[in-house]
Amino acid sequence: MEIRSTTEKDLDLFVDTVHTAFGLVRNAPDEDGGGVLWAAYEMDRGVLAVAPDGRPIGTAGTYSFELTLPGQVVVPAPGVTAVGVLPTHRRQGVLTGMMRKQLTGLRERGEFLSVLLASEATIYGRFGYGPATYTGRLTVQRHRGSFHTPRSPRAAADRPSGSVDVLRRAECGALLEQVYDRYRRTQPGALSRPTHWWARGAGQPPVSRAPRYVAVHRDAAGVPDGYASYALADGTLTVDEIITGDDAVFTALAQFALGHDLVTQVVFKHVPPDHPLRWQLADFRAGEATGTTDWLWVRLLDVPRALTSRGWFADGELVLDVEDPFLGEHGRYLLSVRDGEAECVPTDAEADLSLDIRDLGAVYLGGTLPSTLVRAGHVAAHSPDAATRADALFRAERAPHCLHWF
Ligand SMILES: CC(=O)SCCNC(=O)CCNC(=O)[C@H](O)C(C)(C)COP(=O)(O)OP(=O)(O)OC[C@H]1O[C@@H](n2cnc3c(N)ncnc32)[C@H](O)[C@@H]1OP(=O)(O)O
């Protein structure tokens, strides 16, 4: 088997192989909607596995995204996608070979992390990825969905004095992209959505051109500062996403969704598990959280660079002993944080925590507590307070969340 990089010339072969691996029938490029997603593939960043007889048997791609780290630090983040091996060639190490080629290639390009969405949670841990953001569905019974008056006078005063307009998805032009771009720079765990994705409609609503209504929130000066994309069918109003960096604007858009007549329930498809919305309802049980699941997985490729790149919210020191079995590496690092900035240097000092690179990926964005992984038996804490100190150190300004689908 040969594993090689792809070029533009491989697009057809690559797309055919991905479709066969996923058991999908490929749309013709000129069919309505067909070809939109694969037109966004970056063929200079793909990997193709080829059998000795010359037939392609496996694929893996990479998009060029940006990821927002804790502290609103925006960094390049290769987004791994289109991973597939033909059903006839599985469990023979094809994916393992492609992952090795891809991860070493990313390192050579100077990347210090990569991200993906996993089709199955059992696949990527062995390659050093850990689940770093979580998402879930919140279903609110509309007739029980009234909001409590905020008990904090400050929150009451912060209520936005803006307005909501309803547009059709097709009328939104660049508005959604602009609002999304402002939001994702403030939200740890968020990914960029490249302009050509919006232009092509590559992705899930509202990036796609699927018919949708969009409630656009504007501030008192008329500047759009949030939107909710939604569809209504059979008495259920389904909100694809609410995008805003402002909690009060989120509340206004959620209230707008819950204010619809002829609707029995509102499904918020994609909210972080700790979202305040449930706490805002007068009846906590009017909202039912279901489908909580991992979303963005993170793989660190350069531990010191990764740790010194993110923002930090507590001072402290930790010695981390990190095993990377897939790349056959081991390092022990002293992480010292002062005033939001970290230093991370090799050390021989005794470790506070011993952990696998996948577990460091899981805690990196602040969405998984180190102590959870200690209690799960995956991370070893070598002193009584090591896990508590690690929890305090790795915390982000808010739970990381990623809404992008790729
Ligand atoms: C980011 C994305 O694109 S996610 C999409 C992933 N793709 C899919 O789900 C499409 C359908 N599935 C496939 O194409 C293939 O089954 C793949 C890509 C998941 C795995 O490819 P393979 O070539 O079979 O993997 P490979 O042989 O290298 O397996 C390596 C190890 O992972 C294990 N493994 C591979 N896939 C799975 C799985 N789905 N569930 C559990 N374990 C798995 C293997 O058992 C093997 O374990 P071992 O080292 O202990 O023997």
pLDDT per position as a tens digit, 332-354: 999 999 999 999 999 999 999 99
88 is in an annotated binding site: no
Question: Quick check: is 183 catalytic?
Answer: no
pTM of the model: 0.96
Binning pLDDT at 50, 70 and 90, where does residue 267 land?
very high
**Of 21-35, 186-200, 355-369, 385-399, the least confident:** 21-35
pLDDT tens-digit series, residues 293-332:
999 999 999 999 999 999 999 999 999 999 999 999 999 9
Q: Ligand 1 centroid vs 324 CA: distance in angstroms?
A: 19
C-alpha–C-alpha distance, residues 304 and 313, integer Å: 18
For 344, residues 6+ apart whose C-beta sits below 8 A from its C-beta are 303, 304, 307, 308, 333, 334, 335, 336
> Mean pLDDT of all residues in the chain?
95
pLDDT number for residue 103 = 98
Whether pLDDT at 78 is above 90: yes
Rounded Cα–Cα distance for residues 229 and 166 (Å): 10
pLDDT in tens, 243-265: 999 999 999 999 999 999 999 99
93 is an annotated ligand-binding site residue: yes
pLDDT in tens, 151-177: 998 877 777 789 999 999 999 999 999
Distance spanning both ends of the chain, measured CA to CA:
28
Distance CA 86, CA 94 (A): 9
- Alpha-carbon distance 160 to 162, whole Å? 5
- For residue 21, which atom of ligand 1 is closest to its CA? 14
Indicate if 406 belongs to the active site.
yes
Annotated binding residue 94: yes
Catalytic entry in 65, 124, 230, 268:
124
- Which domains, from first to last, does the chain contain? 2-111 (3.40.630.30), 135-292 (3.40.630.30), 303-394 (3.30.1050.10)
Query: Which pLDDT belongs to residue 209?
Result: 87
Ligand 1 pocket test, candidate residues 37, 83, 117, most atoms within 8 A of CB = 83
Radius of gyration of the chain (CA): 22
Structure tokens at 285: 């049980």
Q: Write out pLDDT tens, residues 25-70.
A: 876 655 544 566 677 889 999 999 999 999 999 999 999 999 999 9
Cα 85 to ligand 1 centroid, rounded to whole Å? 8
Taking the CA of residue 83 as reference, the ligand 1 atom at the shortest distance is 3
- Looking at the predicted structure, is the pLDDT value of residue 191 above 90? yes
* pLDDT for the residue numbered 39: 76
Q: What are the pocket residues of ligand 1 if the criterion is a CB atom closer than 6 Å to any ligand atom?
A: 21-22, 80-85, 90-96, 116-120, 122-123, 126
- Tokens for 247, please give them: 């909690």
**For position 359, what pLDDT does the model report?**
98
What does the pLDDT read at residue 40? 84
Give the Å distance between the CA of 52 and the centre of ligand 1: 20
| DSSP 8-state assignment for residue 190 | -
Pairing of β 341-346 and β 329-338? antiparallel
Look at ligand 1, atom 21, and give the residue with the nearest C-alpha.
95
pLDDT at 71: 98
Ligand 1 nearest atom to the CA of residue 61, by list position: 3
Closest residue to atom 33 of ligand 1, CA basis: 123
The pLDDT > 70 percentage for the chain reads: 97
Report whether pLDDT(149) > 70: yes
Closest CA to 361 of 48, 74, 77, 29: 77
